[in-house]
Chains A and B, each alone.
Chain A
Amino acid sequence: MATTAKIQIDGSGPIPALQGFLRGLLENETLGGIMVPVHLFGKGLPMPTLVTDPEQLSGADPLAPAFPMNSAKLLSRLTRGQSGERIAAVMRPCEIRAFVELVKLNQGSMDDIILVGMDCMGAFDNVAYKQFLGDDEPFEKTMEFYKMSANGGVDIAPACKACEYPAPANADIVIGVAGADLSDHIPVMATSPRGESLLNGLGLPETSAAGRDEALEAMVAKRTATRDEMFERTRAATGTLSDLSEYLSACVNCYNCRVACPVCYCKECVFNTDVFEHKPWQYMGWAKRKGSLKMPTDTVFYHLTRMAHMSMACVGCGQCSNACPNDIPVMELFRTVAARTQESFDYVPGRSLDEAPPLSVFKEDEFQETVSHMV
């Protein structure tokens, strides 16, 4: 039975208690730093921050309901090649799942990293978080969010409402806030041997994560139902090519959704090359053939291509929608497509480091029905 330890919460509340826990980790000589969301400026969004001085953890807020980016990409930066030091990263489940996908593509490494996964109550999108924050004190607002979400009444981002993975998989240490009594203590679990030795070193009292499984189960049930409704709605809105075009009609080819996507893995995306810088006479030719040509061109094409390239790895984090300047529900579309592509290759992104990305491998004897034999 793996260790479950107790992060005791005293009068100052759960955030300082968690900061104290992280400080304890950072004081362990085997860890050189911790990446964790930090309120650096009081206002604005808490950003993933690489902290090496335990004192500087006073702004850390791993519970903040803000999600300005999927930090898997940042962790990929921090683990590609050697830094010589081991670090920890405090991440949401979808960030860890995206990171697992990047590691499989050799764009990151698990070697010198301790993944501290948080049970995830979800987050607002950027606009909604700033509205929620207003002019108030960020830590207080974080606590307000937790009270509200315990009562079930928070308008988190659509991706989070439909996320059926609120518990982190493939972490070394799990902070089990789901179902926890935030006025008393937060259970913290070691879920790998290295997590175990780190956690034991902190000398925290043992406890059990009572109520956590039930809380997670209820969340999963509710979110799965929301997800399935979302699939249905999206399918109904995009069943033909013209419906899809309408769905994407405000797309301006800014590619923010791709930049924000943690699993769009190419160093150089084909859409950033000059392949699609067509000549004026080409546009005129196409327009004449059909009578009119919507500009910019290649929007539907861009999205269909991205689906083919990365839908198998989509972790449903919603950062694509969060990044879209024209409020296109990108996440809904990609998750709906991904549900089918992932199922057809029996692939769950982030599930296991041992499962190769489907397009990187093949079997000789498979998908025979895909090949036509004419004569």
Chain B
Amino acid sequence: MSQEFEPTILAFVCNWCTYTAADLAGTSRMVQQPNLRLVRMMCTGMVDPKYIVKSLLSGADGVLVSGCHPGDCHYINGNYKARRRVKLLNEILPQFGIEKERVKLTWVGASEGNEFAATVNNFINEIRELGPMEARSMAVV
């Protein structure tokens, strides 16, 4: 892919775990690429598939959903529901040429600032490799 392509990544992160980890990564001054836009949700169980679809159609090249580890969800099972929804999108989006690598689900706990920074950096690099979303250049949304 072209050298100039800089991906835009949208991340839906739960308030209790991954957002806290993101905060920690920031306050610990870890080196992070500037491609990420964070959306704080109360729980990954709140991430309706349409948020992810809309993001990908509206300029995001990749979407990260990240919440508490299994067993740690503050609403008991929101992360398990999120897993089914991401699984569902994994089945739908590739049928239209949207690589399933563009939607990533991870569990990052509140104390895992390092893991958060690494997750995001890796994801950005992966998407940079993959290239821009087709929707970026389409007149149709």
Count of A-B residue pairs with CB < 8 Å: 129
The answer on a CB contact under 8 Å between B92 and A374 is: no
Residues of chain B within 8 A of A2, CB atoms compared: none
Residues of chain A within 8 A of B95, CB atoms compared: 235, 238-239, 336-337, 340
Residues of chain A within 8 A of B111, CB atoms compared: none
The answer on a CB contact under 8 Å between A242 and B134 is: yes
Instruction: Tell me if A193 counts as interface (CB < 8 A to partner B).
Output: no
The answer on a CB contact under 8 Å between A372 and B106 is: yes
**How many residues on the A side are at the interface (Cβ–Cβ under 8 A)?**
49
Given contacts A244-B96, A308-B53, A364-B70, contact A344 B138 (CB under 8 A): no
Q: A359–B141 Cα gap in the complex (Å)?
A: 26
**Nearest A residue to B119, CB-CB:** A374
The answer on a CB contact under 8 Å between B85 and A359 is: yes
Residues of chain B within 8 A of A304, CB atoms compared: 50, 53, 57, 92-93, 96
Instruction: Tell me if B135 counts as interface (CB < 8 A to partner A).
Output: yes
Instruction: Tell me if B37 counts as interface (CB < 8 A to partner A).
Output: no
Q: A292–B49 Cα gap in the complex (Å)?
A: 27
Interface string of A284-328 (1 = CB under 8 A from B): 001001111110011111001101110110000000000000000
Instruction: Tell me if B42 counts as interface (CB < 8 A to partner A).
Output: no
Interface string of B62-93 (1 = CB under 8 A from A): 00000000100000010011011111111111
Residues of chain B within 8 A of A311, CB atoms compared: 92
Residues of chain A within 8 A of B40, CB atoms compared: none
Instruction: Tell me if B12 counts as interface (CB < 8 A to partner A).
Output: no
The B interface, classified by DSSP as helix, strand, loop or mixed, is helix
**How many residues on the B side are at the interface (Cβ–Cβ under 8 A)?**
43
Residues of chain A within 8 A of B97, CB atoms compared: 239-241, 243
The answer on a CB contact under 8 Å between B92 and A308 is: yes
Instruction: Tell me if B35 counts as interface (CB < 8 A to partner A).
Output: no
The answer on a CB contact under 8 Å between A238 and B83 is: no
| Residue in contact with B98 in the complex, picked from A241, A293, A299, CB distance below 8 Å | A241
| Residue in contact with B92 in the complex, picked from A241, A300, A307, A358, CB distance below 8 Å | A307
In the assembled complex, the CB of B41 is this many whole angstroms from the nearest CB of chain A, namely: 17
Instruction: Tell me if A12 counts as interface (CB < 8 A to partner B).
Output: no
| Residue in contact with B49 in the complex, picked from A309, A337, A358, A373, CB distance below 8 Å | A309
Given contacts A241-B98, A374-B118, A375-B115, contact A249 B92 (CB under 8 A): no
Which 5 residue pairs are nearest across A and B when measured between Cβ atoms? A308-B49, A240-B97, A362-B80, A245-B140, A305-B50
Q: Show 25 residue pairs from A and B whose CB-CB distance is below 8 angstroms, ordered by the A residue.
A: A238-B96, A240-B96, A241-B135, A241-B138, A245-B140, A290-B136, A290-B139, A292-B139, A294-B139, A301-B54, A304-B50, A308-B88, A309-B49, A312-B88, A336-B95, A340-B92, A359-B85, A359-B88, A364-B80, A371-B105, A373-B106, A374-B115, A374-B122, A374-B123, A375-B119
Taking A293-B141, A304-B50, A359-B85 as given, write out 5 further A-B residue pairs in contact, using a Cβ cutoff of 8 Å, ordered by the A residue number: A290-B136, A304-B96, A308-B53, A362-B83, A372-B105
